[in-house]
């Protein structure tokens, strides 16, 4: 696994929509197939400084990792990443999102707020890999 970018950000509360979508069988099975794990139904929202945005866009646009849309569900791009050097997961970029550009949504197999005792404002580190 080659690291192509490292990002620091802060935990923030999302809108709760990720839990609904990640709870759908379609997404669960596709992420399991593509990433090797079934994601916890919810995303860990990380606010990143704006100086990372151009690099994140370039990485997002240069990867073909995508879960194609089905019926009423939108497509989702994803990039493998590691949180705080211990949690393997992925950053997801849903086609249909209401988040600002500087919000990243990280998925993993477990509830990360509970496992890592994370609260809003806590700093975290993401290593994006290929």
Question: Is 101 annotated in some ligand binding site?
Answer: no
Backbone phi, then psi, for 30, in 5-degree steps? -65, -45
Question: Is 23 annotated in some ligand binding site?
Answer: no
Question: Is 113 annotated in some ligand binding site?
Answer: yes
Question: Is 89 annotated in some ligand binding site?
Answer: no
Backbone phi, then psi, for 106, in 5-degree steps? -105, 135
By CB atoms closer than 10 A (0-12, 13-18, 19+), residue 28 is middle
Question: Is 121 annotated in some ligand binding site?
Answer: no
Question: Is 52 annotated in some ligand binding site?
Answer: no
Annotated binding site for CDP: 14-19, 110-113
* Numbered residues of the known binding site for Mg(2+): 43, 45
Binding residues for FMN: 97, 105
The annotation places the binding site at: 14-19, 43, 45, 97, 105, 110-113
């Amino acid at each position: 696994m080659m690291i192509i970018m490292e990002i620091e950000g802060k935990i923030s509360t999302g809108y709760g929509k990720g839990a609904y979508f990640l709870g759908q069988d379609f997404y669960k099975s596709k992420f399991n197939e593509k990433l090797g794990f079934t994601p916890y139904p919810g995303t860990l929202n990380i606010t990143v400084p704006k100086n990372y945005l151009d690099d994140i866009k370039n990485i997002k646009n240069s990867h073909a990792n995508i879960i194609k849309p089905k019926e009423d569900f939108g497509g989702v791009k994803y990039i493998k990443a590691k949180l705080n050097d211990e949690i393997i997961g992925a950053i997801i970029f849903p086609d249909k999102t209401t988040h600002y550009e500087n919000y990243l949504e990280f998925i993993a197999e477990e509830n990360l707020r509970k496992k890592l005792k994370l609260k809003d404002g806590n700093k975290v580190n993401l290593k994006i890999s290929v």
